[in-house]
Amino acid sequence: MKLAAPTTLTKLEQAIWRTVAYVDLFDYPLTAVEIHRYLDSVPATASEVARMLVGSAALTDHLSHHAGFFCLPQREEIVEIRHERRRRAQQLWPEAVRYGRLIARLPFVRMVAVTGSLAMNNVAEDADIDYFLVTENGRLWLTRALVIAIVRLAARRGVILCPNYFVAESALTLPERNIYTAREIVQMVPLFGHDIYKQLRQHNCWASQFMPNADGPPLVQIPEPEPASWPQTVAELPLRTPLGAWLEQWEQARKIEKLRSQQNGSGESLFTAVICKGHFQAHQQRTLTAYQHRLNTSTDFADYTDKNQNNLRKSA
């Protein structure tokens, strides 16, 4: 399998190759529409990308087209893997929506979104349901405790929920700026709290440096009506008291101490008053390292990486 394109490729051709090479790490071939949306760092129209995919002789040697999907050469088997995982995802979505609705009704929850493999319909066996949650300021840890009760309820029914990223409304700008985080942002599927989702996208407009064509809602959309707000408002009243504030501080102190003790040197997890990011498995770093290895196999891509990192430092 060829892992790098020759230096004769145009800027757009290189971007197409990088886009396909990145998702190959997840055994995920792309359609032309998806290549356009997730195109790496190069603004282009959908028709420009489509013409390049069909008419570029240079890309033909470095991409394979099979059953409507594009992948790296000799990787055509991942097309069937994608079909299998999509069928598995369709079975999981009803549970994701059902429990997402329960979570959205809890006090102080302001947004519920699905992330990870389910957001891309790329669900492997025994996959869990990843959630990204936004909470009201000053009640993140109390809200998390309530969400964990839902997690335990689901586990009794054999459904594994993983609400691994909580942020308060004051912390919508995510701390990491790389292609992995950018893709998590543009791929996440909001279930409830769509106004907050729009704010989240605005606060993280830096993601357009990685994927300038990925504005707007995700390709996967789950139309769900927002739950009635009055039951949530009533449930919040007893927790908007000095007792509620004390409970928040108590839960925050004890859980941050416990979770930090479990980090095992992972630089991807983060626990503060406004962020609870429970990413303990270093999945992001492994993905970025593997992707960097592919880029470094070509002088052109190494040069691209250096320039892109310098641009991000200037904009940070």
Q: For the chain, report the end-to-end CA distance as a whole number of angstroms.
A: 36
Find the length of the chain. 316
59 CA to centre of own chain: 28
pLDDT the model gives residue 61: 86
Domains located in the chain, CATH noted: 11-75+298-315 (1.10.10), 91-281 (no CATH)
Query: What b/e string do you get for 4-40 counting C-beta neighbours within 10 Å, with b at 16 or more?
Result: bbeeebeebbbbbbbbbbbbbeebbbbebebbbbbbb
Cα–Cα distance list, 176 to 9, 220, 307 (Å): 30, 24, 18
- Indicate whether 308 pLDDT > 60: no
CB 50 within 8 A of CB 63: no
State yes or no: pLDDT of 95 exceeds 90.
yes
Tally the C-alpha atoms within 13 A of residue 277's C-alpha that lie toward its C-beta: 20
pLDDT at res. 154: 97
Which amino acid makes up residue 159? V
pLDDT tens for each residue of 12-63: 999 999 999 999 999 999 999 999 999 999 999 999 999 999 989 889 888 9
**pLDDT at residue 6 greater than cutoff 70:** no
Contact by Cβ (8 Å): 107, 143: yes
| Residue 101 clears pLDDT 90, i.e. is over it | yes
Average per-residue pLDDT in the chain?
A: 90
- pLDDT tens by residue, 161-205: 999 999 999 999 999 999 999 999 999 999 999 999 999 999 999
Q: Provide the percentage of residues in the chain whose pLDDT is more than 70.
A: 91
pLDDT tier at 301 (50, 70, 90 boundaries)? very low
Contacts made by residues 225-234, CB under 8 angstroms, sequence distance 24+: 226/104, 226/192, 226/193, 226/194, 227/101, 227/104, 227/105, 227/192, 231/105, 232/105, 232/106, 232/107, 232/109
The mean per-residue pLDDT over the stretch 137-161 comes to 97
